[in-house]
Structure formats: C-alpha cells, structure tokens
Amino acid sequence: IPGHIISGIKRAGTMNPVFLFDEIDKMGNDYRGDPASAMLEVLDPEQNNAFYDNFVEHEFDLSKVLFIATANTTSTISPALLDRMELINVSGYIIEEKVEIARRHLLPKELKNHGLGTDAIKVSKKLFEYMIENYTHESGVRELDKTLAKLVRVIARKVAIGDAYNKTLTVKDIEDILGVPRYIKDKYQGNEFAGVVTGLAWTAVGGEILFVETSLSKGKGNLTLTGNLGDVMKESAVIAMEYIKSHSDLLQLNPEIFEKWNVHIHVPEGAIPKDGPSAGVTMA
C-alpha cells in the first residue's frame, strides 16, 4: 500500500518502532509497481536515513526503525533484497515437538471450541504420532490443527445426538473418522538390494528419504536419467559415472563393460521436481 511505512510510524507515534513484514517471500511485482525493489531502499541501513516516499512526497529517516521480516522460503526473495537482511533460520518442528504441541495446546483448544469437556476423548502419544505421520505433511502444525478439529467435530456430533463412542481412541477410530491415511511416507529399507540406495532429501515441509534406483540393460553405454531431476542432480549422476569409468582399475571393472551396457538412474515420484548438491555420493 503506498505510504504504508510512513503511516505506520505515524500510528506508532515514535521514530524507532519495530516493523514486522509478514511473509515477505510473497511480495511480487506487476504492472502496478515493484515493491520488492522499493524495499531495497527501506531495508538498507546505508541509505534509509534519507528514504524518500514518492507517495507522500517527503524525505524521512528510517535508520532508527527495526525491521523484522518473515518468510516461508528464501528462494522467492530477490538476491539483492536477501543480501540486505540478516538471516535467522527457524527450523520446523520435529515429531516429538508436534506431539507435545497437539497434546498440551491444540486438542484442549479444539475441545473447548466445540463445547466438549477435557475428558471427552483420550488420545495417546502413539496415536498423535500416527495422525501426524499419516494425515499431515508440513513443517508447522496448521494442518494438524485442522485434522484435530475434524476429529473433535465428529465426536461433538456423537455427543449431541447421544451416540455411544469409544472415549479412548484407537487407530481404527481415527481411520473411521479421518478416512484412509493421506500421506504414505517411504520407509527405510536398508541397502541390501544392488542398485537401490537410500538418500536424504530436504523439503519445505521437513526431511524425507529418497530412493535412487539404477538398472542395467544391454546397449551402447548410454546414461539415462529420469525422475524430474534438476541440473545439479543430473550433473551429479554424470560425475558419478565418469568417476567409475576413470577408476575402473581400482574397482576391478573391465573398461569394455561401459561400451556394452546402458545405465538407467531413476529417482521415484517422477512428478515432483528434485534438485540439490548433496545427491552426489548417493548417485555414485
């Protein structure tokens, strides 16, 4: 909004307020202007003591203001703007933390919202874990809160119409109410199969394990890569192949093998883009 920062300082009634820009990664540019470029001047301590607001048409000293910005991901923030900020990474919750948040805060809140007493249902820690792993896919707890709300609504309806229900919930009760599990996570299987290796992947919703699969077929020594891989991962596969070729003596391989066999590398879940510099050793 034009003139928003100056009007915010006016509302705060002080020259050194704290400004919070929530979700600065959502700031885009279109035909109406480019606020991300304007933010360069606002957030740069070298030049914001003479910030000129084109809307108010007035020069103003912003050097005493403390700006805090939040973002879900830094990848959509322009590099120039990111360079003017100090980054504080706040990692997502681990499963044990989510269980405690759900147990101590989310479930009591939803029970209260739906007019139920604290003893209306009992959910064990193991059951919270089951719900988190099978019905949510996030780094925070927003989806977990919605899932618990859905669960409590069904129980509230049963209480209202006088239906009997099991107060101590079980996995079967959860599946009856929430349906079949929505997210099936890959389970670690070990590396006892030739040509299948487990790697670790970073995603915006937390860590995942990733299987990298290879197969051989008779041919002319071509390398095929599938699974929607980014440029860096493609390069990792090529480097891995070149490493094996150049160290064939060390690995006791006959160099002629490479001319008679095609190698196919596949990373499952082909529709999901995958990239990163840490897949090199897994590929090799």
CB 64 within 8 A of CB 94: no
Give how far the C-alpha of residue 128 lies from the chain's centroid of Cα atoms, to the nearest Å. 21
Determine the pLDDT at residue 204. Answer: 66
CB 36 within 8 A of CB 27: yes
pLDDT tens by residue, 17-74: 998 989 888 877 666 667 777 777 777 777 766 776 666 666 777 888 888 999 887 8
Residues 6+ apart with CB under 8 A from 187: none
The Cα–Cα gap between 240 and 25 comes to 35
Specify which residues 216 forms β-bridges with. Answer: 263
pLDDT tens by residue, 215-227: 999 999 899 999 8
pLDDT tens by residue, 230-249: 898 899 999 999 999 999 99
CA atoms within 13 A on the CB side of 251: 13
Determine the pLDDT at residue 149. Answer: 93
More confident residue, 90 or 157: 157
pTM over 0.85: no
The Cα–Cα gap between 164 and 259 comes to 70
Please determine, for residue 98, whether its predicted confidence score (pLDDT) is greater than 90.
Answer: yes
Determine the pLDDT at residue 32. Answer: 64
For 241, the token pair is 């192949």
What band does 280 get if pLDDT is binned at 50, 70 and 90?
confident
pLDDT tens by residue, 64-74: 888 899 988 78
Determine the pLDDT at residue 60. Answer: 74
3-class SS letters over the chain: CCCHHHHHHHHHCCCCCEEEECCHHHCCCECCECHHHHHHHHHCCCCHHHEEECCCCEEECCCCCEEEECCCCCCCCCHHHHHCCCCCCCCCCCHHHHHHHHHHHHHHHHHHHCCCCCCCCECCHHHHHHHHHHHCCCCCCHHHHHHHHHHHHHHHHHHHHCCCCCCECCHHHHHHHHCCCCCCCCCCCCCCCCCEEEEEEEECCEEEEEEEEEEEEECCCCEEEECCECHHHHHHHHHHHHHHHHCCCCCCCCCCHHHHEEEEEECCCCCCCECCHHHHHHHC
What is the separation, in whole angstroms, between the first and last Cα of the chain? 52
Instruction: Print burial letters for 191-224: b (CB count within 10 Å at least 16), e (below 16).
Output: eeeeeebebebeeeebeeebbbeeeeeeeeeeee
Determine the pLDDT at residue 118. Answer: 85
The Cα–Cα gap between 254 and 248 comes to 7
For 259, list phi and psi in degrees, rounded to 5: -90, -10
pLDDT tens by residue, 195-211: 888 888 877 666 778 88
Determine the pLDDT at residue 152. Answer: 92
Distances, alpha carbon 250 to alpha carbons 182, 242, 244, in Å: 47, 13, 9
Determine the pLDDT at residue 55. Answer: 62
What band does 109 get if pLDDT is binned at 50, 70 and 90?
very high
Helix axes 171-178, 142-161, angle to 10 degrees: 90
Torsion sign, CA atoms 251, 253, 256, 260: negative
